[in-house]
């Protein structure tokens, strides 16, 4: 069995764990930069399937984080003009870049049906999760 598949299975387990254990994490996914193409590709998720499995750099919250390399916390998705809606129920979103050897290779993306649920604690926690996940790619 090839190594990439094993990583995607592990990532799916991480998504399922987070979505099950944190009440306001309604959709959890990992997007990664797609080879040499200027786009992100969804590699693992938990929650409702999304049509947005490919996101061009710069588009939506995810695409913006691909170029900014910075956390993006959105308390109210309706207040964003560069936003890609995946579900009518989503009220808030958090995207945290995933660095391996200092390089932004992807991100964790979480949608919430609760308005303004994300705090600094979520940012620190998800940075820790990404740091652990990043070890799979070293
Ligand atoms: N809302 C994201 C798109 C991905 S879905 O949330 C799964 C965005 O604006 O980039």
Cβ–ligand 1 contact at 108 (below 6 Å) = no
pLDDT of residue 81: 97
Give per-residue pLDDT as tens, 16-63.
999 999 999 999 999 999 999 999 999 999 999 999 999 999 999 999
pLDDT of residue 125: 98
Residue 50's domain comprises: 3-137
Among 60, 65, 72, which residue's Cα sits nearest to residue 123?
Answer: 72
| Cα–Cα separations (whole angstroms), residue 95 to 3, 4, 5, 132 | 26, 23, 24, 16
Domain count, the chain: 1
ipTM rounded to 2 decimals: 0.97
pLDDT of residue 44: 98
Between CA 58 and CA 84 the distance in angstroms is 11
Give per-residue pLDDT as tens, 59-93.
999 999 999 999 999 999 999 999 999 999 999 99
Looking up residue 48, the CATH number of its domain turns out to be 3.30.450.40
Atom of ligand 1 minimally distant from the CA of 80: 9
Give the CA radius of gyration of the chain.
Answer: 14
Cβ–ligand 1 contact at 86 (below 6 Å) = yes
| Centroid of ligand 1 to alpha carbon of 129 (angstroms) | 19
pLDDT of residue 4: 66
Give per-residue pLDDT as tens, 125-137.
999 999 999 999 9
């Amino acid at each position: 069995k090839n190594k990439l598949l094993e990583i995607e299975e592990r990532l799916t387990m991480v998504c399922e764990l987070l979505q099950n254990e944190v009440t306001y994490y309604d959709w959890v996914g990992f997007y990664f930069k797609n080879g040499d193409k200027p786009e992100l590709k969804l590699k693992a998720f938990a929650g409702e399937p999304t049509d947005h499995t490919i996101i061009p750099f710069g588009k939506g919250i995810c695409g913006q984080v691909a170029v900014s390399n910075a956390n993006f916390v959105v308390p109210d998705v309706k207040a964003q003009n560069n936003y890609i809606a995946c579900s009518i129920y989503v009220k808030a979103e958090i995207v945290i870049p995933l660095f391996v050897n200092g390089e932004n290779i992807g991100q964790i993306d979480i949608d919430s049906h609760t308005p303004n649920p994300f705090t600094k604690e979520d940012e620190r926690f998800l940075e820790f999760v990404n740091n652990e996940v990043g070890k799979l790619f070293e």
